[in-house]
């Protein structure tokens, strides 16, 4: 998506039925602010906003720090999130809490097998008294969309979000409507249920900035969850307590704060060696074969990405690459390089640094890459998931 196109669309946002919010994506900031250093005052302000966000989320969400930081990371970067976890792990509650503390409009869509694409985007309605068709917009016209159990709907419904997630617009009939800014899709899926579910197509998976895996809380965290809910039960009835979590809450991270965080993240410095490291990690996920059938770290699928002095520093050893590539059918696209670059900058900002370290890249690599790798049958036979393969790739690609 080109920044200029997004800015033009934003001018028409009020007509789409959304509140007039003026936000600019991180891509636009990166277009003109990468050479502007991040000042100490801006860094302190950004850290203060991040701490406020964490405290506000922690009032209702116990533990799950990675999920909470991932939600804020995607909101700053202007991307979308795929949440994967068993039922009852506060995925929906976290999204509602995020909408409440940011003051953004929120809508929830329950994906089912009988859902239609028009149920998401909207449709044309015939008005007999006027003898014309009018547009009835769907729930996708909002700031934060919770696509609950997205893998329960067939592919044609899932694909209805493709244009919205990539182009930030929806075409109904012959007219194209801009979406809100920010527009943020959080899709959830249950990894333990397979009957009656439909795997997401690779084209849609690639449009998610991050895939966050939600695990069961530890014993101490679960005890705190029980105590927190018991306190709410004692104060009010269950219905009132749940309503209180999303209504009447103070906005602690409004649009001005989000803009400040995006500006600060765009000004985090990324050294050229770190940029090459990011690209080499993503390139290492792509199995490429030379004429002799040997795996190589490739750019363009034909020749090694690095040449000359850089080859020794960044090329993956042959034995390691062949050991990894047998587990990968398809690798990550250039969207992964862009996402890893932006998310590493945000990770550095969260850590209170003005520059990206290799550790920031490694931490961001898991949620950025785990849904973009298509694993082979050998990986399943050896009991390896995407995180295990990413761990081997990070161990094989030398850090600067």
**Is 361 inside a domain boundary?**
yes
**Is 246 inside a domain boundary?**
no
CATH label of the domain that carries residue 352? 1.10.8.80
Number of domains in the chain: 2
CATH label of the domain that carries residue 156? 3.40.50.300
**Is 312 inside a domain boundary?**
yes
Most confident segment among 16-20, 303-307, 345-349, 384-388: 345-349
Q: Are residues 278 and 258 in the same domain?
A: no
**Is 121 inside a domain boundary?**
yes
Least confident residue range of 6-10, 296-300, 391-395 = 6-10
Q: How confident is the model at residue 368 (pLDDT cuts 50, 70, 90)?
A: very high
Q: Are residues 256 and 276 in the same domain?
A: no
Q: Are residues 52 and 79 in the same domain?
A: yes
**Is 245 inside a domain boundary?**
no
Q: What is the pLDDT of residues 64-106, one digit of tens each?
A: 888 889 999 999 998 999 988 877 777 888 888 888 888 888 8
pTM, to two decimals: 0.78
pLDDT at 339: 94
Q: Are residues 188 and 286 in the same domain?
A: no
Q: Are residues 214 and 120 in the same domain?
A: yes
**Is 243 inside a domain boundary?**
no
Q: Tell me, letter by letter, the H, E, C secondary structure of the chain.
A: CCHHHHHHHHCCHHHHCCCCCCCCCHHHHHHHHCCCCCCHHHHHHHHHHHHHHHHHHHCCCCCCHHHHHHHHHHHHHCCCEEEEECCCCCHHHHHHHHHHHHCCCEEEEECCCCCCCHHHHEEEEEECCCCEEEEEECCCCCCEEEEECHHHCCHHHHHHHHHHHHHCEEEECCEEEECCCCCEEEEEECCCCCCCCCCCCHHHHCCCCEEEEECCCCHHHHHHHHHHHHHHHHHCCHHHHHHHCCCCCCCCCCHHHHHHHHHHHHCCECCHHHHHHHHHHHHCCCCEECCCCCEECEECCCEECCCCHHHHHHCCCHHHHHHHHCCEEECCCHHHHHHHHHHHHHHHHHCCCCECCHHHHHHHHHHHHCCCCEECHHHHHCCCCHHHHHHHHHHHCCCC
Q: Are residues 308 and 205 in the same domain?
A: no
Query: In this structure, what token pair is assigned to residue 123?
Result: 């449709």
pLDDT at 390: 93
Q: Are residues 149 and 182 in the same domain?
A: yes
pLDDT at 49: 92
CA distances from 332 to 101, 126, 386 (A): 34, 44, 12
Residues in the chain: 400
Tell me the residue range of the domain where 361 lies. 272-396
pLDDT at 322: 56
Strand 132-137 and strand 122-127: the pairing is antiparallel
pLDDT at 346: 95
Whether 118 has a pLDDT exceeding 70, the answer reads yes
Q: Are residues 35 and 151 in the same domain?
A: yes
pLDDT at 18: 61
Q: What is the pLDDT of residues 153-184, one digit of tens each?
A: 888 888 788 888 888 888 887 788 888 888 88
Q: Are residues 37 and 185 in the same domain?
A: yes
Q: Are residues 34 and 104 in the same domain?
A: yes
Q: What is the pLDDT of residues 278-311, one digit of tens each?
A: 999 999 998 864 434 444 444 444 444 444 334 4
As a whole number, the mean pLDDT across the chain is 78
């Amino acid at each position: 998506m080109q920044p200029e196109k997004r800015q033009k669309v934003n001018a028409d946002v009020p007509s789409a039925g959304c509140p007039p919010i003026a936000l600019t994506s991180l891509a636009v900031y990166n277009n003109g602010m990468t050479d502007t250093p991040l000042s100490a005052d801006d860094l302190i302000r950004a850290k203060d906003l991040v701490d406020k966000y964490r405290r506000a989320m922690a009032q209702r969400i116990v533990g799950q720090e990675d999920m909470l930081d991932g939600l804020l990371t995607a909101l700053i970067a202007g991307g979308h999130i795929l949440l994967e976890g068993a039922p009852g792990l506060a995925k929906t509650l976290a999204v509602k809490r995020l909408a409440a503390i940011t003051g953004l409009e929120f809508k929830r869509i329950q994906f089912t097998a009988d859902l239609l694409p028009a149920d998401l985007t909207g449709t044309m309605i015939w008005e007999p008294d006027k003898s014309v068709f009018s547009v009835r917009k769907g729930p996708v016209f909002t700031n934060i969309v919770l696509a609950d159990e997205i893998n329960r709907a067939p592919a044609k419904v899932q694909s209805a979000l493709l244009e919205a997630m990539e182009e930030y617009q929806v075409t109904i009939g012959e007219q194209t409507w801009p979406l809100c800014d920010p527009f943020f899709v959080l899709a959830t899926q249950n990894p333990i249920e397979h009957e009656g579910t439909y795997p997401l197509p690779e084209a849609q998976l690639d449009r998610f900035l991050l895939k966050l895996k939600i695990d069961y809380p530890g014993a101490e965290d679960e005890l705190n969850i029980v105590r927190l809910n018991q306190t709410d039960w004692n104060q009010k009835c269950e219905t009132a307590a749940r309503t209180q979590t999303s209504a009447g809450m103070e906005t602690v991270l409004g649009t001005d704060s989000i803009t400040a965080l995006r500006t600060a993240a765009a000004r985090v410095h990324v050294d050229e060696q770190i940029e090459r490291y990011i690209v080499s990690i993503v390139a290492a996920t792509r199995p490429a074969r030379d004429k002799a059938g040997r795996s190589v770290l490739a750019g363009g699928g034909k020749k090694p990405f690095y040449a000359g002095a850089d080859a020794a520093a960044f090329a993956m050893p042959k034995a390691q690459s062949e050991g990894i590539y047998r587990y990968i059918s398809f690798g990550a696209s250039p969207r992964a390089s862009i996402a890893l670059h932006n998310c590493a900058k945000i990770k550095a900002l969260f850590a209170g640094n003005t520059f990206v370290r290799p550790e920031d890249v490694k931490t961001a690599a898991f949620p950025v890459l785990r849904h973009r790798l298509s694993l082979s049958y050998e990986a399943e036979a050896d009991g390896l998931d995407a995180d295990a393969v990413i761990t081997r790739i990070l161990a094989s690609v030398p850090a600067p």
